[in-house]
Amino acid sequence: MLGDPSGLPTDRALLSQPPKAGLSCKMVLQAVGKVLRKSKAKPNGKKPAAEEKKMYLEPEYARSRITDVGFKELVVLPREIDLNEWLASNTTTFFHHVNLQYSTISEFCTGEACQTMAVCNTQYYWYDERGKKVKCTAPQYVDFVMSSVQKLVTDEDVFPTKYGREFPSSFEALVKKICKYLFHVLAHIYWSHFKETLALELHGHLNTLYAHFILFAREFNLLDPKETAVMDDLTEVLCSPTPRNVGASGDWEGPGCGFSPRASRESRSCQQSDFSPVRPSPWPPELKRTICVLRRLR
């Protein structure tokens, strides 16, 4: 603000006085213009993007799940099962599920709409094989992630599918690296594409996948808490205890039942051969109208 107008001189004699030495009309105008520009730059009451209400935290959406299975118990390492086999089986499954979830909104995640791989105030950069930081758009980053992870999970020396082959000594470190990348993709979907996910009625799938993934990562310390802090509010909501979903025999329903190392390797081998690219297949007819509406809104 420039001050109280009532305090400005109104006497003609004062107004008719010549300006003080050293001050020109040009300098006065520049000073006034600078003040006005600053006043325009001040916040107009609108919250910054990071403080805007997060739709994915609204109870009606956060409650949505595709199952009420208690994932906290489901992620625990089964007795007599090798830890690396358990990590390999679940990591491969999470990779395919995250890839599938992203493919549903990949048509909206463009270089123009998502110029950086950002979540809240955090921006992610890709590092190439020489460790050089690469600034890229969100779709480029996700493509890098999916290509890199696919290369790892299909490498027989890293994720062996033949019974009897050993895992490398660096296997756990590689799994942590994969989980970090997958978390980035999930966080970006929530932060930048939850409206599209909601319009496609896939938020229940996304919530279920996120809760399962986070609880699994917590169980085996696969994610640095500092890495996941950006989504702590969502994690607190989605990872709270949920009712058990048990079958008639009292056993857990869902993945993990009847697990064996041999079955795990056979399953991972099939998943590798069935892997599809990140880009989705043509949209089902029933979703075309929703897609058209979303495109008009963007």
What residues are designated binding site? 109, 114, 188, 193
Are the CB atoms for 45 and 12 separated by under 8 Å? no
Are the CB atoms for 215 and 171 separated by under 8 Å? no
| Cα→Cα distances 72→56, 87, 196, 249, Å | 22, 15, 29, 20
Residues 6 or more apart whose Cβ sits within 8 Å of residue 106? 139, 142, 278, 279, 280
Q: How many CA atoms lie within 13 A of 60 on its CB side?
A: 3
| Cα→Cα distances 137→71, 177, 197, 227, 253, Å | 33, 20, 20, 20, 40
Angstrom distance (rounded) from CA 208 to CA 144 = 25
Are the CB atoms for 233 and 54 separated by under 8 Å? yes
Residues 6 or more apart whose Cβ sits within 8 Å of residue 199? 290, 293, 294
What type of residue is 31? A
Angstrom distance (rounded) from CA 223 to CA 179 = 7
Helix axes 261-273, 83-103, angle to 10 degrees: 30
- At 133, which helix (H) or strand (E)? strand 133-134
Angstrom distance (rounded) from CA 231 to CA 60 = 18
Question: How many whole angstroms from its chain centre is CA 30?
Answer: 46
- For the annotated binding site for Zn(2+), the residues are 109, 114, 188, 193
Are the CB atoms for 253 and 244 separated by under 8 Å? no
